Amino acid sequence: MRSYKVAVYAGDGIGIEVVDETIKVLHKLEQASGGFKLELTDFNWGSRYWRETGKLTPDNYIDIIKDYEVILLGALGDPLHVPDHITLVPLIEMRQRFDQYVCLRPATLLPGVASPLANKKAGDIDIMVVRENSEGEYASLGGRFKIGQPDECALQTAMHTRKGVERILRYSFELARKRRNHLTLATKSNAQKFAMVMWDEILAEVAKEYPTVRADKFHIDALCMNFVRCPENYDVVVGSNLFGDILTDIGGAIVGSLGLAPSANINPERTRPSLFEPVHGSAPDIVGKGIANPIATFRAAAMMLDFLGEAEAAKCLDQVVLDNLAEGKVRTPDIGGKAKTADVTADIIARIERAC
């Protein structure tokens, strides 16, 4: 029997709700397949752990999880009780320490789901955002000076390396070759004349190695507008850490809901764990109501299974999600339904029993 070590870091808010549902779905897939076993270890980290210990995680949490193959994460953030720049540290740190430099975030309009954009139907929006996930604006370099004084000063320095930019561009070109041969860089070289000009130059260099891929670039402001105005013009879109973050909330919205958008934080060399999560956060506005859409996390779990080599189970999970959405009977309020989170899970599990 094939077996995989999975660290489960459900985190906070609806992160806990959607991960609970995802684990039920994963167990059902194990049963249906009969060929693999997920060894799940649940880590109670985040604001729950903070209430007990005054810390978000044990000090050595990186050591604790570094030998897992993958991490399944819900969402971090408990903004009413702990400042976000504290609760979110482990997420950013895991991406960096485990060198998960590729963040894959599909924005695909699926059959049966309505886009808020007029006249868009399934197939019209099929974008893969590749977010640089290990450096850039998230490098955490800087400091504060004269805190609280009228002449207070804050420095927040982004760090973009040739190695980091080259590898994410190369990954994106490879991906574009497997899709529709079109790669777009999110840039801002009209204003950020050091970092973004370097991104533009490296794009032009790497593009020479991929003559079959059409490579273009848009300034991030125009690109955000175009995600709303003409998303059908894009295939693979690559951007720095912050640009990728912003684009993928827009990506979630235009394909119907952030509650459908998955994310894979990948260490392509597989030297350290990769991390799978929904794009969304802990959604304090709906926590405890039982209405969080679990589908983003189901789809992240499918990406995880695929990464682990369980392509058949991954495909089956993706397919039953598509079937659920296409039928449209059991869906949460964010996509126009009345169902509860648990109803969606029950529907997905019943479909796995029938189809996988």
Site string for ligand IPM, 224-263 (x = CB under 6 A): ---------------------x------------------
Q: Which does 67 bind (CB under 5 to 8 A by kind): ligand NAD, Mn ion, ligand IPM, none?
A: none
Is the alpha carbon torsion for 314, 263, 95, 47 positive or negative?
negative
Closer CB to Mn ion, 105 or 331, in the complex: 105
b (16+ CB within 10 A) / e for 197-212 = ebbbebbeebbeebee
Least distance in Å: CB of 113 to ligand IPM? Answer: 21
CA-based R_g, the chain, Å: 20
* Alpha carbon distance 240, 48 (integer Å): 32
Q: Which does 151 bind (CB under 5 to 8 A by kind): Mn ion, ligand IPM, ligand NAD, none?
A: none
* Alpha carbon distance 182, 116 (integer Å): 25
* Alpha carbon distance 306, 292 (integer Å): 24
* Alpha carbon distance 330, 346 (integer Å): 9
Site string for ligand NAD, 128-167 (x = CB under 6 A): ----------------------------------------
Considering only 258, 308, 317, 325, the residue that binds ligand NAD (CB under 6 A) is: 258
- Which residue spans within 152-289 are E strands per DSSP? 153-159, 182-187, 214-219, 236-239, 262-266, 274-278
Closer CB to ligand NAD, 124 or 249, in the complex: 249
Interface with ligand NAD, residue 256, by CB under 6 A: no
Piece in contact with ligand IPM (CB under 6 A), picked from 49-57, 86-94, 148-156, 291-299? 86-94
Least distance in Å: CB of 145 to ligand NAD? Answer: 25
Considering only 88, 198, 322, 356, the residue that binds ligand IPM (CB under 6 A) is: 88
Report yes or no: 35 and 4 within 8 Å, Cβ to Cβ: no
At residue 8, what are phi and psi to the nearest 5 degrees?
Answer: -105, 120
Residues 332 to 351 in contact with ligand NAD, rule: CB under 6 A: 332, 334
Interface with ligand NAD, residue 85, by CB under 6 A: no
Q: Which amino acid appears at position 231 of this protein?
A: P
Residue whose entry in the numeric block shows the structure tokens 């990948």: 266
- Which residue spans within 220-345 are E strands per DSSP? 236-239, 262-266, 274-278
Residues 210 to 249 in contact with Mn ion, rule: CB under 5 A: 245
Interface with ligand NAD, residue 91, by CB under 6 A: yes
Residue whose entry in the numeric block shows the structure tokens 């490098």: 139
Q: What is the number of residues in the chain?
A: 356
Q: Which does 235 bind (CB under 5 to 8 A by kind): ligand NAD, Mn ion, ligand IPM, none?
A: none
Is the alpha carbon torsion for 182, 188, 190, 196 positive or negative?
negative
Residues 271 to 290 in contact with ligand IPM, rule: CB under 6 A: 279, 281
Footprint of ligand NAD on this chain (CB under 6 A)?
A: 14, 75-77, 79, 84, 88, 91, 258-259, 277, 280-286, 292-293, 296, 332, 334
Footprint of Mn ion on this chain (CB under 5 A)?
A: 245
Footprint of ligand IPM on this chain (CB under 6 A)?
A: 88, 91-92, 245, 279, 281
